[in-house]
Amino acid sequence: MQLYNTLSAEERAIMIDDAGKQRLTLSFYAYAQISNPTQFRNELFLAWNTLEVLGRIYVAHEGINAQLSLPADNFYAFKDSIEVYDFMKGIRLNIAVEQDDHSFLKLTVKVRDKIVADGLVDETFDVTNIGIHLKAAAFNQLLEDPNTIVVDMRNHYESEIGHFTNAIKPDVDTFRESLPIIEEQLAEHKQDKKLLMYCTGGIRCEKASAYFKHKGFENVYQLEGGIIEYTRQVKAEGLESKFIGKNFVFDHRLGERITDDIVSQCHQCGAACDVHTNCANEGCHLLFIQCDSCAAKMEGCCSTECATIIHLPEEEQKAIRKGIKNGNKIFKKGKSTVLTFKNNEETHGIFVASPSKPTLVKPPKIKKIYLGKGTHFFPKPSIGQFLIEENEIKIGDTILIKGTTTGEQQLVVSEIFVHENASEKAVAGETCTFKLPFRIRLSDKLYKVLD
């Protein structure tokens, strides 16, 4: 009886590509009394593994917190699998704003003390006495109330790339750090202000609202379903999005675009950018924001030291990183001294609030023509395969590869293979391959950049 993932991420990515099935990325949570979390965990793994579910799921005595993806064809079978349990009947499933077949590449179901690490002792207050849930329209309306204080309950690396206008954004690495800070900073407004909170999918606000009510805040509100559900309602009802930028997500995408506004900067040079990446040095893996120019110059690394390490033989790299425990370090992007612009140009106070009229940067327009789409990626040699549907591509062309997860990546083509044979060019109807310094997805589009 298999109860654990046995495939590597690379093997799973190839299987997903070969299957050719559209996958859905979704998240949900539920607070409940689970007497035997281990048994519950094993039941979920056995049921979901057969449905090709991949993701990161935490279960505890207090409930479940899940972020996952599955083939769209298996969606209703998946719903049936969770509605076997009474506390998940009719549960809201937050469907991702943007879909990516590679959002998750493993199925991990873990038993934890809590489904969210909040540092609270639940027995000391009523965790069911939560704040008032607001849908998108009501949330927008309350944002305009001068007696409202809106607080982002996410961490600094999440709120940096996207947030609600005028939100207070605690400069913290973890959710548990934000609770006492917010209580202290807003202590004078427990009765005279409306405390309005939001997070990614709603789970952090669920616990935080009960905590703040316990601490004496009288008017506590929370965004129902978080940013994900808010965006769905905004689109469905034709509302104005008060959220600007990107919504950070904890999967391979690292973000889904809500509006075209870019509200953050490259941590290495300061250029307008909101693309998160992990340092290419596996022994570092630091999470930070990096623009295309710095990605090319630094080879996807956070520092010159890491850029040197990635060129060492694999055995030497393994020896260097042996015993290294990164832990939460990978998320402390604003605190790393190697990120020169981020470290030198910004002071880190307890709160960073958006100005009433934030300065937004629109991405520059690139003149381009459509060539085709990605059809496969070979991880080991790092080779991308594309079907040319229109026009032609030749050696020396500057190309743009664009996708929701890949972002916008430019490079100059130095060699082309058509049907595994070296060629000067590839024309419409042909499948070509060339080396890439990054992974592509099947949803990625290929363009030729024009002068």
Segment 405-427, tens digit of pLDDT:
677 888 899 999 998 899 999 99
Catalytic, 199? Answer: yes
- Please state the rounded mean pLDDT for residues 335-352: 56
- Residue 359 in this model has a pLDDT that exceeds 50: no
pLDDT at 283: 87
Is residue 448 a contact partner of residue 369, using CB atoms and an 8 Å limit?
Answer: yes
pLDDT at 352: 39
**Mean pLDDT, the chain, integer:** 88
pLDDT at 159: 95
Q: Which of 199, 205, 279, 306 is catalytic?
A: 199
Segment 141-188, tens digit of pLDDT:
999 999 999 999 999 999 999 999 889 999 888 899 999 999 999 999
pLDDT bracket for residue 341 (50, 70, 90): confident
pLDDT bracket for residue 331 (50, 70, 90): low
pLDDT at 182: 93
- Residue 329 in this model has a pLDDT that exceeds 60: no
Segment 191-245, tens digit of pLDDT:
999 999 999 999 999 999 999 999 999 999 999 999 999 999 999 999 999 999 9
- Please state the rounded mean pLDDT for residues 78-107: 92
- Please state the rounded mean pLDDT for residues 341-370: 55
pLDDT at 9: 79
Among the residue ranges 98-112, 266-280, 331-345, the one predicted with the least confidence is 331-345
- Residue 337 in this model has a pLDDT that exceeds 60: yes
Cα gap 221→423, rounded to integer Å: 61
Among the residue ranges 75-84, 195-204, 366-375, the one predicted with the least confidence is 366-375
pLDDT at 404: 65
76 φ/ψ angles, rounded to the nearest 5 degrees: -75, -30
